[in-house]
Amino acid sequence: MKSNAVSLHQIAVCHTDTPDAHVAKNRKDMITTIRVFAPYREGLVGIEAYSHLMVIFWMDRVTDLPLVTHPRGDTAFDKVGAFALRGRNHPNSLGLAVVQLLSTESNEITVKGLDAFDGTPVLDIKPYDDYDVVQNPRVPEWFKQKSRTRN
């Protein structure tokens, strides 16, 4: 299979007080400041008009993981492929989170709900609007169940 090179540029960095070990558990309530680098600062103009954003980040601490695994690490669930999960075991370590925009100040935005570690590189920020809303999406049964091995 032919592979084409793709070039991405870090535009910002995440800063949070949440320790790495607590990110997954606290993701919905985490507060993160995203510091946008000077060359991209003007890209923030008008962002305060949105209540929510989509943040695309690089999961730079992920090591090679299998493409097939148990959802949520729960062996009670049948294994599924990486493209059927939102986890870290993807060929490219891209993270995507819909976050609530809490505030903007100069080259920083503060958000709630970003499940990224302190120091995580941000690749892009996009506004979230009603164009992307899907009402009642179909999901697998395991997704609706609470994991038996994790909280």
What pLDDT is stored for residue 151 in this prediction? Answer: 43
Q: Residue 92: how many CA atoms within 13 Å on its side-chain side?
A: 12
**Cα–Cα distance for residue pair 151/132, rounded to 1 Å:** 29
Question: What is the CATH number assigned to the segment(s) 12-129+136-144?
Answer: 2.40.30.70
Q: Dump pLDDT digits (tens) for 50-86.
A: 999 999 999 888 777 788 989 888 899 999 998 998 8
Q: Dump pLDDT digits (tens) for 77-129.
A: 999 998 998 877 888 889 999 999 999 999 999 999 999 999 999 999 999 99
Q: Running DSSP on this structure, what letter comes out for residue 72?
A: G
**Cα–Cα distance for residue pair 127/54, rounded to 1 Å:** 6
**Cα–Cα distance for residue pair 77/74, rounded to 1 Å:** 6
Residues 6+ apart with CB under 8 A from 26: 18
Which helix (H) or strand (E) segment is 132 a member of? none
What amino acid is encoded at 100 in this protein? Q
From the number of C-beta atoms within 10 Å of its C-beta (0-12, 13-18, 19+), residue 105 rates as: exposed
Where in the chain are the domains?
A: 12-129+136-144
Percent of the chain with pLDDT over 70: 95
The pTM is what?
0.86
